[in-house]
């Protein structure tokens, strides 16, 4: 289903628009203060319950090994996500694959994914709105909104969901980047400590100590940081 322009839906002046702007301002502050990816998406789904006509909300994130579900407001959402990830059919997987917003007005009558619709309907969910979380590099995940009422999401809800998705996309991408940088810094520290142990024990220089770690990493098919961690913990190299 093709959706309207989010900006147009919220363009009319008035107290409702002002209240929405205030909510997003608070969300931006909260996301900025989040400590990591899980905290970021948890803030997003909790905000969705306040700002939208939904009973439940969840976020699924794209990873190299497939979608992961770090935040839901109810176990029902986790169950719905697991069905889709197992079968590879449903609005979540289509939204993530095609980078397109998908609206299911009523699971009792929607026939695009009949097996999925029947399962979701059995949980008492009638309306679903899935919005992709996208950045310049592609889709990072999907924001899923669920309601027990049929045809629950109107144009204003869709507009707010799109704006929320934009905030969430930037926040998730930033949190992931910071986490990657933190892991890289931690790995360098571990390798440096392990090199120091080898240099002291065997009287080798830094280049030779790094070469030893690298060789053990390759021979045992173990990440360099894990080889370093094992040496630090046990004072032994992996066999």
The residue ranges of every structural domain in the chain are 6-180, 184-234
**pLDDT exceeds 50 at position 4:** no
DSSP 153: -
pLDDT recorded at residue 28: 60
What SS3 state is found at 105?
coil
The C-alpha angle 46, 51, 56, rounded to 5 degrees, equals 50
For residues 96 and 158, what is the distance between their CA atoms, to the nearest angstrom? 17
List the CATH code of the domain at 6-180.
3.30.450.40
The whole model's pTM is what? 0.70
Quick: pLDDT tens for 47-89: 888 888 899 999 999 887 778 888 899 999 999 998 888 888 8
How does residue 32 score in pLDDT terms, banded at 50, 70 and 90? Answer: low
Cα(28)–Cα(71) distance, integer angstroms: 18
| Dist. CA 122–CA 190, nearest whole Å | 50
CATH number for the segment(s) 184-234 = 1.10.10.10
Q: What is the pLDDT of residues 146-186, one digit of tens each?
A: 999 999 999 989 998 998 898 888 888 777 777 777 778 88
**Tokens representing 36?**
């990591």
Q: Whole-angstrom Cα distance, residue 239 to residue 237?
A: 6
pLDDT score recorded for residue 27: 65
Instruction: State the pLDDT confidence band at 2, using cuts at 50, 70 and 90.
Output: very low
* Residue where the block lists tokens 């989010």: 6
Residue 7 has pLDDT above 50, yes or no: no
At 115, list the tokens. Answer: 């097996």
In DSSP terms, 142 is beta-bridged to: 60, 132
Q: How many residues does the chain have?
A: 239
Q: Within 10 Å of residue 114's Cβ, how many Cβ atoms?
A: 11
């Amino acid at each position: 289903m093709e959706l309207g322009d989010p900006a147009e839906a919220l363009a009319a002046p008035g107290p409702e628009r002002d209240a929405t702007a205030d909510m997003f301002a608070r969300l931006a502050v909260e996301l900025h203060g989040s400590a990591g990816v899980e905290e970021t998406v948890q803030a997003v789904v909790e905000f969705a319950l306040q700002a939208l006509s939904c009973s439940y909300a969840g976020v699924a994130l794209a990873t190299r090994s497939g979608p992961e579900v770090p935040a839901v407001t109810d176990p029902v959402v986790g169950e719905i996500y697991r069905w889709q990830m197992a079968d590879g059919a449903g609005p979540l997987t289509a939204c993530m694959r095609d980078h397109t917003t998908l609206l299911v007005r009523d699971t009792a009558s929607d026939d695009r994914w009949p097996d999925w619709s029947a399962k979701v309907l059995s949980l008492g969910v009638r309306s679903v709105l899935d919005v992709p979380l996208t950045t310049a590099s592609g889709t990072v995940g999907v924001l899923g909104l669920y309601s027990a009422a049929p045809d629950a999401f109107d144009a204003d809800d869709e507009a707010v969901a799109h704006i929320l998705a934009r905030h969430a996309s930037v926040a998730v991408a930033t949190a992931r980047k910071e986490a990657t940088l933190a892991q890289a810094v931690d790995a360098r520290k571990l390798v440096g400590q392990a090199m120091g142990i080898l240099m002291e024990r065997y009287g080798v220089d830094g280049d030779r100590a790094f070469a030893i770690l690298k060789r053990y990493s390759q021979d045992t098919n173990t990440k360099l940081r894990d080889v370093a961690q094992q040496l630090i913990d046990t004072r032994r190299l992996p066999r």
